[in-house]
Amino acid sequence: KPNEHYKPTGHFLGFFVSSKMGRTEELLEELVNVEVELQDVQDQIKYLLDRQEKLHERQFELKALVESCESSSGPGSDNAAVPVDDWSRPFEWDSQADDIRFNVFGISKYRANQREIINTIMSGRDVLVIMAAGGGKSLCYQLPAVLRDGVVLVVSPLLSLIQDQVMGLAALGIPAFMLTSTTTKENEKFIYKALEKGGDELKILYVTPEKISKSKRFMSKLEKCHHAGRLSLISIDVSLQFCVFPLAVCYS
């Protein structure tokens, strides 16, 4: 039977409270240490992710430079000693490009940056061009379309621009067609046939984004054209800017 008259002394109570507070302080100290270490780990993860992103970017740049070097320098070529980003230097297609510019398009000389842009495209590089209206951006993909084998696909949301471009190119004797909601069944049939068999009957094809997103038949024909090696360039032409993808890989 417990002693009902027993009462703990003040000294014993103080020891009990002191022990409990000591344990709490130890736990709090360990908690702080864990939180500090977790923060260090988070900082390291962030650093590594940032580093990984930069390495991926550099990897992409290096691969593009290697591909450019391989495509612009062949046996007996002296282009290898020239920086790959000097697009104003002489290229093997200069004479033919000048002939097409003057005799087909009726243009006596290039405007600012046109020649450099064309050389970049002809070298197989992706290009983003931002140019004011009337700056001559259309020539930058139209001339390579005539210069290169295969079909150039031009994507533009402006139907009026497409119609003007097709009419202007047809007047120059360049086989250009459009595939839009206004295209007749007869022309649509001709375009699909030209995509399948190749040849020089179709050099530039203008389409709207809606045609790409909604027409499975068109995408099927375009994919076959690409696999056959006849899809030369893809140009996205919107108002004040356009980008060119020499390798047709952007329409999955």
Tokens 């001559």 locate to: 136
| Domain range annotation of the chain | 9-73, 91-245
Please choose, from the candidates 204, 203, 198, 179, the residue with its C-alpha nearest in 3D space to the C-alpha of residue 189. Answer: 179
Residue-level pLDDT at 79: 46
CB-hemisphere CA count at 13 Å for 161?
17
Strands 241-245 and 127-130 come out as antiparallel
> What would the two tokens of residue 147 be?
């210069």
Contact 156, 166 (CB under 8 A): no
Distances (CA, A) of 223 to 218, 226, 228, 230: 9, 5, 9, 10
**Residue 138, strand partner residues:** none
Residue-level pLDDT at 250: 36
Residue-level pLDDT at 4: 56
Residue-level pLDDT at 204: 93
CATH for the stretch 91-245: 3.40.50.300
Question: Is residue 213 scored above 60 in pLDDT?
Answer: yes
Please choose, from the candidates 243, 251, 184, the residue with its C-alpha nearest in 3D space to the C-alpha of residue 219. Answer: 251
Residue-level pLDDT at 103: 94
When mean pLDDT is compared across 15-19, 114-118, 166-170, the lowest value belongs to 15-19
Please give the Cα distance from 186 to 207 (Å, whole number): 16
The one-letter amino acid at 184? T
Mean pLDDT, residues 119-131 taken together: 87
